[in-house]
């Protein structure tokens, strides 16, 4: 890959943020698996003191704040602030810096050839907000098995394309993607497909154009299952937010989603959101969402998936609602592949979860603030996951090989 300065890009987006002297002092004091509790009391940080005061009042442990990853475990949830040491567990397991964008993307299961476009802040948001493609892939395979074939899909609230890429891997054909952020759709167009529409679904003109283009595509592909994918922006539902109420306008976007489904009448839909949706206003909001979808589709199933159970090197819990117009096909959750802690239950043996080191150890080392996109890999891929990330094997081969062993 050549950029406009005639510099060969070898590992796209392998760029890590610059840290202040105070940040570096903090980072150097946290061991693998450690967090803010390991930072010496004489480190002059007002924010860390606030965390200590909050903890002493019993207001929560903040256990991942200023956390450093463990090499032999999956990461914690990759959020949009992985470029900051104090907003989660984002310190590299071995190097004194935060995760690079490529490392965060790998922990989300985006392959290395997936090029994120836009400003550094936009790219961080694209990565942190995404559905892990490998999880979407396994869900799509279950839908394939239930309905007997691959379909075509419209991707609403598409972001950079995590859900869309996973369904594409599973043999589905993308038709149209929509998002309010033009930079997100530039990334989507680069990596998934080029037919996109920028704008908010709340805009009547955008909504009308989405409906028209969807109905046209539905007629064109009348002999194939036609589905709609999409989860509205999840910040308002997230337990990490300070305001989790229907007063947040982002939480009413599902009404636009359901109205769209009423008009275009797809064969099915997939809705994704954060696990915080389940507890919001003591479960009443989730019930509203569920009832809204059940009024459109006769058969709706709900699942909570933890990505570390599906051979993804990240602890990330998400809610999925999957609805179908025809109820004779029973969609089952993907089979669990990996286990965090216990490797077996009463009936099954599981592999250990894919670890941070399994995912990242072949990437070149960086200093804080360094752009390593022009650097070479440290060595050939030494795990099955690294082979997947570097395009040596396909997602299908990854799942097949995983049944036998993780390392090669």
Residue 75 to residue 72: CA distance in whole angstroms: 9
Q: Tell me the per-residue pLDDT of 352-402, one tens digit each, with 9 for 90 and over.
A: 899 999 999 999 999 999 999 999 999 999 999 999 999 999 999 999 987
Residue 197 to residue 152: CA distance in whole angstroms: 17
More confident residue, 250 or 230: 230
Residue 85 to residue 268: CA distance in whole angstroms: 41
Q: How many Cβ atoms sit within 10 Å of the Cβ of residue 162?
A: 28
* Exposure b/e, 349-369, CB count within 10 A at least 16 = b: ebbbbbbbbbbbbbbbebebe
Sequence-distant (≥ 6) Cβ neighbours of residue 177 within 8 angstroms: 154, 155, 156, 158, 161, 164, 185, 188, 192, 193, 195, 196, 197
Q: Are 338 and 309 in contact (CB under 8 A)?
A: yes
Residue 267 to residue 382: CA distance in whole angstroms: 42
Q: Are 243 and 203 in contact (CB under 8 A)?
A: no
Please state at what angle helix 133-147 crosses helix 395-402, rounded to 10 degrees. Answer: 90
Sequence-distant (≥ 6) Cβ neighbours of residue 298 within 8 angstroms: 324, 325, 327
Query: Which tokens belong to 268?
Result: 């099915």
Residue 247 has pLDDT above 90, yes or no: no
In DSSP notation, 59-98 reads: S---TTTTEE--TTS-B----TTTTSTTSSEEE-SSSSSB
Annotated catalytic residues are 234
Which uninterrupted H or E stretch holds 300? strand 299-306
Q: Tell me the per-residue pLDDT of 314-354, one tens digit each, with 9 for 90 and over.
A: 999 999 999 999 876 889 999 999 987 655 555 567 788 99
Q: Tell me the per-residue pLDDT of 157-191, one tens digit each, with 9 for 90 and over.
A: 999 999 999 999 999 999 999 999 999 999 999 99
Domains by residue range for the chain, with CATH: 133-335 (3.40.50.150)
């Amino acid at each position: 890959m050549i950029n406009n300065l005639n510099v060969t890009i070898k590992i796209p987006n392998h760029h890590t943020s610059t840290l202040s002297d105070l940040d570096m002092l903090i980072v150097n004091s946290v061991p693998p698996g450690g967090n803010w509790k390991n930072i010496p009391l004489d480190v002059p940080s007002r924010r860390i003191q606030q965390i200590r005061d909050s903890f002493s009042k019993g207001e929560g442990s903040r256990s991942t704040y200023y956390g450093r990853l463990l090499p032999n475990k999956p990461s914690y949830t990759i959020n949009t602030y992985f470029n900051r040491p104090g907003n989660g567990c984002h310190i590299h397991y071995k190097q004194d810096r935060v995760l690079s964008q490529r490392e965060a993307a790998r922990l989300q299961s985006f392959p290395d050839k997936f090029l994120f476009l836009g400003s550094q802040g936009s790219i961080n948001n694209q990565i942190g907000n995404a559905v892990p493609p490998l999880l979407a892939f396994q869900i799509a395979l279950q839908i394939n098995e239930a309905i007997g074939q691959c379909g075509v899909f419209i991707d609403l609230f598409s972001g950079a394309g995590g859900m869309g890429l996973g369904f594409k891997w599973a043999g589905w054909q993308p038709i149209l993607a929509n998002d309010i952020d033009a930079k997100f759709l530039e990334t989507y167009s680069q990596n998934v497909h080029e037919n996109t529409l920028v704008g908010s679904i709340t805009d009547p003109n955008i909504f009308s154009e989405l409906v028209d283009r969807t109905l046209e595509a539905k007629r064109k592909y009348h002999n194939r299952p036609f589905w709609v994918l999409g989860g509205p922006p999840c910040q308002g539902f997230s337990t990490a937010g300070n305001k989790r109420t229907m007063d947040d306008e982002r939480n009413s976007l599902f009404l636009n989603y359901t109205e769209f489904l009423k008009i275009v009448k797809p064969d099915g839909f997939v809705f994704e959101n954060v696990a915080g949706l389940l507890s919001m206003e003591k479960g009443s909001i989730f019930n509203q969402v569920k009832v809204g979808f059940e009024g459109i589709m006769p058969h709706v199933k709900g699942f909570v998936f933890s990505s570390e159970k599906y051979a993804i090197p990240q602890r990330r819990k998400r809610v999925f609602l999957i609805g179908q117009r025809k109820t004779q096909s029973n969609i089952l959750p993907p089979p669990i592949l990996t286990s965090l802690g216990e490797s077996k239950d009463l009936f099954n043996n599981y592999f250990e979860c894919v670890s941070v080191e399994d995912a990242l150890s072949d990437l070149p080392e960086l200093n804080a603030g360094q752009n390593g996109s022009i650097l070479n890999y440290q060595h050939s891929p030494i795990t099955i996951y690294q082979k997947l990330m570097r395009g040596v094997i396909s997602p299908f081969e990854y799942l097949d090989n995983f049944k036998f062993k993780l390392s090669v």
